[in-house]
Structure 1
Amino acid sequence: MAEPTSGGDGTAAVAQIQAAYQRIREQMSQVIVGQEHVIDQLLIALFSRGHCILEGVPGLAKTLMISTLSRCLSMSFSRIQFTPDLMPADITGTEVLEENRTTGKREFRFLEGPLFYNVVLADEINRTPPKTQAALLEAMQERQVTVGRVRHELSDPFFVLATQNPIEQEGTYALPEAQQDRFMFKVNVDYPNFRDEFSIAKQTTALQTDSIQPVLSSEEIIALQKVVREVPASDHVIEYALALVRQTRVGEEGVPDFVTDWLSWGAGPRAVQYLLLGGKARALLNDRSYVATEDIAALAKPVLRHRIVTNFSAESDGITPDRVIDRLLEETPSKEGALTSDPRFQKIFAA
């Protein structure tokens, strides 16, 4: 692939992202059948420099999808199998005392853990207690690990792609809210449709081989991430993203009654950042060099579903975070000028 170009050439930026997207999809289709929306969101997170968590029942190829994506990238890869006895040092690394053969003195040497790779698969992340889950917090946000008094920089690019089973299942620990907020997307992986499951059954029960080739290097991904950030977003699109997020904050001016009735608390500023970054990447994947409100709306669920918390009343009535987001999308006008002229949104923006 040619070196991505940064600058004001929107057509070139679209072509670069499109080429990378198509080549990765072609490679992954050798192994993964269906699940197009999941793959799209993984790639949007990749190009937006964000982390992603996939949730679904066992057997839906969540781990296979992430490991296949890693094979499409010329980057280092590690897999961490999260278990109840996993300790923080097993992830971050640890200092060991050993003898320096040159000086004859004993000194500490840092042994890097599996976080010191470009792509980290955190498999079944909610199978380990919160103490170990929290070992990822600094790495995911600041892209560094502190052991003792020493900070160790992580590789760039750095992605945590996690899988988890629904928390109602046996032996799972709910991720802390701060941990969930580090993930750009939470993607729900559903059962395949009949046609896809037919293909899966046919392919996986016969002799099969794949020849997946890496299509993007670390340098190319970093350059494409810069291209994504150069995509323009109008004030109206930013206001639309803000309107969606600020309406989730219980107790604020202008918040709809259903939000007060259904939510304990809402999303923070990181949700707005990820809506806009994801919108920019999605726009490029959809052959546009600008962000539209449709891009923001399309990513509202994966960005917001793990950042809003339903209360007991909502849960007892079967109200899910996705249901709340659907209602927000219905009641938030996307037409330019409609938000600033609406008295309710004027209160939200003035707060």
Structure 2
Amino acid sequence: MSDFNDRAGQVRSGEELPMAAIEHFIKQHLPDLQGQAELEQFSGGASNLTYLLRFPDRDLILRRPPFGHKAKSAHDMLREAKIMQALKPVYPYVPTVIAACDDASVMDCDFYVMERIHGIIPRHNLPKGLVLSEAETRALCLSVLDKMIALHQIDYKAAGLESIGKGEGYVQRQMDGWSERYRKAKTDDVGDFEQVMAWLKAKMPARDVATCIIHNDFRFDNVVLNPDDITDVIGVLDWEMATLGDPLMDLGNTLAYWVQADDDAVFQSVRRQPTHLPGMLSRAEVIAYYGEKTGYRVDNFDFYAIFGLFRLAVIVQQIYYRFFHGQTTNPAFANFGKMSLYLEQRCLRLIAGSAL
């Protein structure tokens, strides 16, 4: 098969790294590592920054927080690394963490370094030249969903992961936390989401359906596929927001990014994964498949779907806040304010049509 592996590119201006200090740190943990690294940056991701360290005999990945303002509890690199290390024995799709660093003399923030999993990351479109039949696309879709379901079915107590979250009461905490984050990140040129937040608060389920390990950002562009078998998921990335919580909240968050073929032009324009392809499940089919596989009731899913869109709007707005105030110069964030406005209107349309 042709080389469809995910590729990095030039480092964005203002997001360079202190390579001499980083290389010295890494070689303390990998003393046999030879030579100096070439630094490249992956374009995917609008939150934490991901870099490729290309040594002569080995590729490594470095993750660090964004430059500029960040939410107090967000972008915790040490927590992300610890969760990955704990999950690896029971969920083999997690990359191996090489080392985590909290030494400000190395870099002005915490960061960690992990192995690179070579494979295909399905971003906005599949790599050029990679064409799948409808049957192959459906098999890929189900394989990705099955990895989320497998994560939700891990016995977190047996795995020693009780400390990664607070458990019961997750939905209430999420409502309170994301509402507060939006209000703090609001800029003068976006909506206030007050009507959406009021509806969510009124329709919030009385209890979590279950408590399990949730990824909180499970998307196609956070999985790595085997280049020799496109339906084989060999890696799951970006564990920043993993915690213990309600599995239906995790599914709702995933579906907020699930742009399907019949969605409106604005939603199509922000699609970042190939969920529009013939053979992909629709959002309704995903919900039904998940319910069938897990046994959870999914007949009143509107709350979770609308909350997922609201949460996405908060993430978008937090990033736009940094751009609005000149704390990041990444041009990709310039239109995030318009996206925030669109997501508010999308939530309101779904609320108007909800039977809840």
TM-score category of the 2 structures, normalised to the smaller one? under 0.3
Structure-1-length-normalised TM-score:
0.28
- In our comparison, the structure showing a higher alpha carbon Rg is 1
Q: Comparing both chains, which one has the higher relative contact order based on Cα–Cα distances under 8 Å and sequence gaps of 6 or more?
A: 1
The structure whose residues are more often helix, as a share, is 1
Structure-2-length-normalised TM-score:
0.28
